[in-house]
Structure 1
Amino acid sequence: MLAESLEALAAAGGAAVVQAATTDAWTEVRARVARWFGRGDGERERVQLERLDRTAAELVAAGGTEQEQNLQAQVWRSRFEDLLEGLDDTERNDAAAGLRALLDDTAAARAVSAGTGGVAAGRDVSVKAEGGSIAAAVLHGGAHIGPPPVPDPSQG
């Protein structure tokens, strides 16, 4: 049986999968979750990618109903719990730390969104003009503007 804190972590993982499944963040969240479950095994990762794709398809087919969201969140909670239960203490601690980092990172990714024709980024964006062309971007919120970095000649 898992400690209460790990059960809560697994529940948060299940909720994160469902919350991201129909958003622009899905591609990133899907890949990160599959990698976490795969734990370095490409075949396990592939199986999880297929499961994640089925989850997203089922959520879309159900029209995102609360009932389907709850069902899928519980399915993924159980999957997270099962993996954590099957690990020894050291592996479990490492996996829990990895899941916490995944949840922190994907929460930031899910918080970023753009409307039709827009681009959203939770990290750096570069807009650059070359060869006499122009470049433009519209910013909503803050921005940091500074001189371009000076190339390091030793980095060739």
Structure 2
Amino acid sequence: MVQAVGTDAWAAVRHQTALLLGRGDAERQQAELQRLDQTEAGLSSSQNLQRPPAYYWEGMWRAHLEEFLGRLSAEELSGATAELDSLVRQFGTPARAEPTSATHGGLAAGKDVSVRAEGGSVAGGVLRVDGGIQLSPPFPRGPQQ
């Protein structure tokens, strides 16, 4: 859902998502449309410098979809996952459409990168991150003297 905001596919994704999550209940469908509109507003508002980043909305939707799927019977789950798979196949795009690249002296990686200092040395780097980031403690065994 989040990747579709602001694209030509958004109106169709919004509509089909609300139908899927509404499961034939007009009130629930309207509530899903409002949630989708909040997502769009949160991602589109360039005036609000305090707006949550895209990964916030991705996490929110992941949790919402997990909760939705968890409420369904086995029979309903099969149909809903098929609909969701169809929606993703129809409108989904890879998280990274452009190739990974770096300039002279840089490092480009399409997957995880680990930078570690050993033997009391210091390691560092300058990062440009397109997506989330996870940091580990810099001294797993405690500071070296």
Band of TM-score, shorter chain: 0.5 to 0.7
Q: What does residue 72 of structure 2 align with?
A: 87
Q: What is the TM-score when the length of structure 2 is the normalising length? A: 0.58
CA RMSD of aligned residues (A): 2.3
Deviation at 1:88, TM superposition (A): 1.3
Deviation at 1:94, TM superposition (A): 1.1
2:10 pairs with 1:23: no
More helix by percentage: 1
* Distance in 1 (alpha carbons) for counterparts of 2:27 and 2:92: 27
Q: Which residue of 5, 9, 24 corresponds with 1:40?
A: 24
2:83 pairs with 1:98: yes
Equivalent AA in structure 1 for residue 14 of structure 2: R
Percent identity over the alignment is: 37
Q: Which residue of 60, 65, 69 corresponds with 1:75?
A: 60
TM-superposition CA deviations, 1:100-124 (whole Å, max 9, x none): 111112238xxxxxxxxxxxxxxxx
Deviation at 1:76, TM superposition (A): 0.5
Structure 2: gaps of 5 or more residues: 94-145
Equivalent AA in structure 2 for residue 30 of structure 1: R
* Distance in 1 (alpha carbons) for counterparts of 2:70 and 2:84: 14
Q: Which has the higher contact order (CA 8 A, sep 6+)?
A: 1
Runs of 4+ in 1 over 2 A off after TM superposition: none
